[in-house]
Amino acid sequence: MKYRNLGRTGIEVSPYCLGAMMFGAMGNPDHDDSIRIIHKALDAGINFVDTADVYSAGESEVILGKALKGRRDNVVLASKLHYPMGDDPNHRGNSRRWITTAVENSLRRLQTDHLDLYQVHRPDPSVDLEETLSALSDLIHSGKVRAVGASSFPASEIVEAQWVAERRGLERFRTEQPPYSIINRSIEREVLPVCQRYGMGTLVWSPLGQGLLTGRYRKGQEFDGHRSGHTPQHFADERKLDVVEQLIPLAEQAGLPMTHLAMAFAIAHPGVTSAIIGPRTMAQLDDLLAGVDVTLTDDILDRIDEIAPPGTDAGPNDVAYVPPAISSVGLRRRTLPERSAA
C-alpha cells in the first residue's frame, strides 16, 4: 500500500482510513468480530484509524483499545469530540472545560497515553475559536495529542481558525474531515482548495454516499429502513438515484464494482489524503480492500464529471453540518419593532 503525507505533519497514512463508527451498538455489537475486522485492515496495510467518543457512546473506542493492544505504535490513531456524551449540558461542545475532560475519557477507553490526531467533530458557534484552539494547543504541549484537526467545517471557518492560530500563537488545525463522494462534491469548490492552500491533510467521510454508491439501492425500490442513521428520503432522493443509475453502467464498462469506482474517485483528488471506510462486516472490508489499488483513467473521471458535475451535490447530505445561519429561523428573519405614529 502506498502511503501519503497527512498534510505537513510529517505523518504518513494509508489512502484508506479505517472508520470505527460501525464498531459497537451502532453497527456490529460483537467485540470479537469487530476486533478481527480491525486486525485484518491493519494486516492489509491500513495504518490510519478514525473514531469518535460519540460512536456507540464510547463503545467504539473501547473496542479499538482492545484491538490495538501490542499494535498501537504502528497505528495513526484519531478520535473526535463535540457531540453530547450524556445529559449534562457541559458534557458536549468545544469548550476548554469539555475538551480537557473528553480527551481523558477517550484515552482511557482507547487504553493509550496519546492520540495522533484529535479532531473537533463539528463547529461550535457558542465557543470562541481561540478558546478551543488554546485548549487543544495545551494537549499538544502536554504530549497527550500529536496534532489537531476539524471535521465538517465550512471553508470560512477553516480560514478563520488558521488566522486565530497565527495571531494568538496557537497550534493550528492540521487536518479537515469533510464529506465527499461522487454524489456530494461541493467541497471541491472551497473546502479542498483552502485545505491545500494551508497544507492541511484531509480524511473524507462517506465516500460511498452513505450507502447509495454501493449500487444496492436503485430507482423504484422501496426503502426497507434497515440502515440506522439514514432517512428514507436519502435512499429515495430522485436526484441522487439518477446519478447512481448512470454510474452503474459506467462501472460495468470499466469492469469495476460500484464500491471500487466510488472509492477510487474519492482518493483521486489531489486535495484528498485518505478516504474513510466504515465496514460493519468482514465481507464489506474484503470488498473494499480488493479495490485499494484501483486507479481511474481520465476517460472515466471525465464521464463521472458529466454525470455529477464538479463542485456540486446531487442532493443534500443528510448528516452534514448545517450552520446556524441556515438551521435557525431566528437568524434568518429580521424582527422590526413597531413604529409609533408620529
Residues 6+ apart with CB under 8 A from 238: 219
Short-list 249, 253, 277, CA closest to 263: 277
Angle at the Cα of 316 (from 205 to 309), degrees rounded to 5? 80
**What is the rounded CA–CA span in Å between residue 208 and residue 179?**
10
Residue 180 falls in the annotated catalytic set? no
Do 181 and 207 contact (CB within 8 A), yes or no? yes
Query: Is 268 in a helix, a strand, or coil?
Result: coil
In sign, the C-alpha dihedral spanning 91, 96, 97, 103 is: positive
3-state SS class at 164: helix
Please, where are the H alpha helices in 145-281? 155-168, 191-197, 232-236, 238-254, 258-266
* Max Cα distance, the chain (Å): 80
Grid cell at residue 154: 465550512
In 3D, which of 188, 156, 208, 192 has the Cα closest to residue 309?
188
**Residue from 311, 329, 317, 326 nearest 152 by CA:** 317
Considering the candidates 16, 55, 118, 198, report the single residue annotated as catalytic.
Answer: 55
C-alpha cell at 82: 463535540
What residues are annotated to the active site?
55
